[in-house]
Chains A and B, each alone.
Chain A
Amino acid sequence: MTSRLGLILTLAQKDWRLFWADRRAALLCFVVPIVLASAFGLIFNQPTQALTETRLPILIVVEDDGPFTAKVVTDLLASPRLEARVVSAAEAATLVVEQPGQPAIVLTRGFERLKQWQPGNTNDRPELRILHHPAGMADRQWAEGVATEVIMQRLAREKFGGFSAGVPDSAFTTPMQVHATAITGNSDAQFNSYSHSFCGMTLQYLLFWGMESGLLFLRERQRGVWGRMRAAPVSLGSVLAGKAIATAAIAMLQVLVTFGFGYLVFGVTVSGSLLGFVLLALAACGLAAATGLLVAAIGGTEARARSVSILVILGVSMIGGLWVPAFMLPQWVRELALSLPTTWAMRGLSAATWEGLGLRAILPSVAVVTAFAAVFLVLATLRLKRAEYRIRRGIV
């Protein structure tokens, strides 16, 4: 008689065959995450050099006709950080609404009084108004920073102009040099926006594959084939193990294909610990398999399981930072996300890929993802065994 392991492998092989039986569906399993990861990477791909050369488009509304104000306008128009143009107040109100990402700086009536400013004078300060789109908070801050710098430079020239005659305007630049460097844990590692998108989309589609595997299991249980399996000398434990192995094996293939494509086409590399990457990939595949069994265990009907699973997977993907980097999310979301396996998996994959960190930095992620997979597996097994017992005993 075949050994228990042989039986489990037979069951896993059956699921492997079923997966490949519909070649187009199988192919889509690999193509969709690649397409999405490429699209996300392309959208968020902003090379460092390009960023420094980017100029913020702004509109300038001049309500004061004083000479100091006119010089400020000239400085703003000449700023290498801005792509500025002067418009009327009405035009600015329309353009800011219609073209998000283009704030307006309004030099209000009485702005000229700024010329009389003295240190310590906090009263009667003229107003600098900034109009911006509700979604353009970053642009607003950018505009405020550049405008403040330009105005303060002009003010310095006016204030010190009296005793520094003959000093060229270029002398009134900022008194320090600003030098910005993007750093990672490994000086050799370079950020690649495709690394983030390939890590995120791979993880998201591992969970989707897990869900699909769970739905297949539900379908199988609702077909006559399950009655036949119950009649065969096969324990439920073997069936679940076979299912988990097949799901994890296909998930691992998905990881290999997705990252292989990322490496060949977009230069996504494992700059950190390769062992850490492999361990985390194995843990994530285990998580996909356990998720599948959990879907089958608590899903009820296929339609219900599909709807709820999609909602949950999209939710944990978004909160876990699989779509956009976690630092872009609000603080409370980042704290909430620590309770999700996706957050830890994403941290680990980021550490292994673009952050270029070592095994020690990745192991906590491996441990947390493995723990989640183990808990899901135990819950699913207990629940399915209970359901099977109830069916066998005719308990409704």
Chain B
Amino acid sequence: MPLPVALSLVGVCVRYGNRLAVDGVSLDVRRGEIVGLMGPNGSGKSTTLAVAAGVLDPLAGTVAVEAIDRSRNPAEFAMRVGFVPQECGLYDELTAAENLLFFGQLYGLGGTDLRRRVARVLARVSLTDRATHCVSTFSGGMKQRLNLAIALIHDPPVLLLDEPTAALDPASRDSLFTDLTHLRDDGHAVLLSTHHLEEAELGCDRVIVLEAGKLVASGTPGELLQSRVGTGAVLYGHLRSRPPKYLLRAIRSRFPDGVSIEITGRRLRLIAPDHVALGTALAMLLTDGVELDTYRTPAGTLERVLSHPVCATAMGSE
């Protein structure tokens, strides 16, 4: 039996000047569920999250958390939402504990209860030993973890994260998704925005795709991936160095109808018509000296890719 709906947006519209940034978006997020908001830049992801967090007032539509309508009871609504802005919402001049104490007090917490909560959330994001350190001394990953901890200080049922992995390295990103998975398992409803299907696939139970402010697709990551690559195979990786252009041309010419290589920054997405082709393409990259920090495929397909004889040899030689 599915858990109850925690966050509900119905027919939400937001206008920036003459531009309709969010156009009639309706969505639900249940407790114990991580939902990813996807879409290109300017598709309305951050605006939708801002409306869900109560940071923006919608032009039309309603936003409710556990049946509490924001427009009717904004204070109660705010108590049930934890918002992690894209830009770290922290005071660099204060320590981690001071940041948590301050934001906790804004939510009406205080005394021993607040101190206990501070200790608990710091432990949850593995920052206990840095509690009394100034935030300005933190790495990007630590700041993002503290950013998450602040959103959790009042233990809200709904957690909203705006591109939480934007400035993180792969290890920090994986650690963040581990935290989110634990929160999901504890019954929180999580809505996050991301550019990357790989991330959505890594940690989301459901994905909602926005385009030009409209909801254009919704489903599990597998379903969405299926619609994109059909019966094909996909591999995500994080490159240590950019492959030379001649190599990319060589791979594309070897698979003229099928293999797609997309490189954004140091992220790699390899899509092929089948696992054999994917394994061959990966092997061509690896044998030419291209190094991958991390790589993965949708659940259950990695073994099939790596079992390709050429690929297995290349991986073995690393």
Contacts and interface: CB of A to CB of B under 8 A. Distances in A.
A328 interface: no
B154 to A, nearest CB: 9
Interface string A1-36: 110001100110010011001100000000000000
Interface in A176-214: none
Contacts of B239: none
A18 B57 contact: no
B82 to A, nearest CB: 8
Interface string B7-41: 00000001111000100000000000000000000
Nearest to A220: B91
Interface stretch (A68-76, A107-115, A226-234, A285-293): A226-234
Given A227-B83, A392-B57, A394-B21, A18 B91 contact: yes
A220 to B, nearest CB: 9
Secondary structure of the A side of the interface? helix
B54 interface: yes
A22 B15 contact: no
Contacts of A230: 53-55
Interface stretch (B100-108, B115-123, B189-197, B297-305): B100-108
Interface residues of A, number: 29
Contacts of A226: 89
Given A227-B50, A396-B16, A233 B107 contact: yes
B88 A232 contact: no
Contact of A1 (B88, B90, B91, B108): B108
21 contacts: A2-B105, A2-B108, A6-B105, A14-B91, A21-B93, A223-B87, A224-B88, A224-B90, A225-B90, A228-B83, A228-B150, A231-B78, A232-B107, A233-B78, A233-B79, A233-B108, A392-B57, A393-B59, A394-B16, A394-B21, A396-B17
B124 to A, nearest CB: 18
A17 B92 CA distance: 12
Contacts of B56: 391-394
A395 interface: yes
Contact of A17 (B53, B98, B110): B98
Given A228-B83, A228-B85, A396-B17, A233 B102 contact: no
Given A14-B91, A224-B87, A394-B21, A232 B106 contact: yes
B94 interface: yes
Most buried by B among A223, A230, A231: A231
Contacts of B110: 2, 6
Nearest to B110: A2
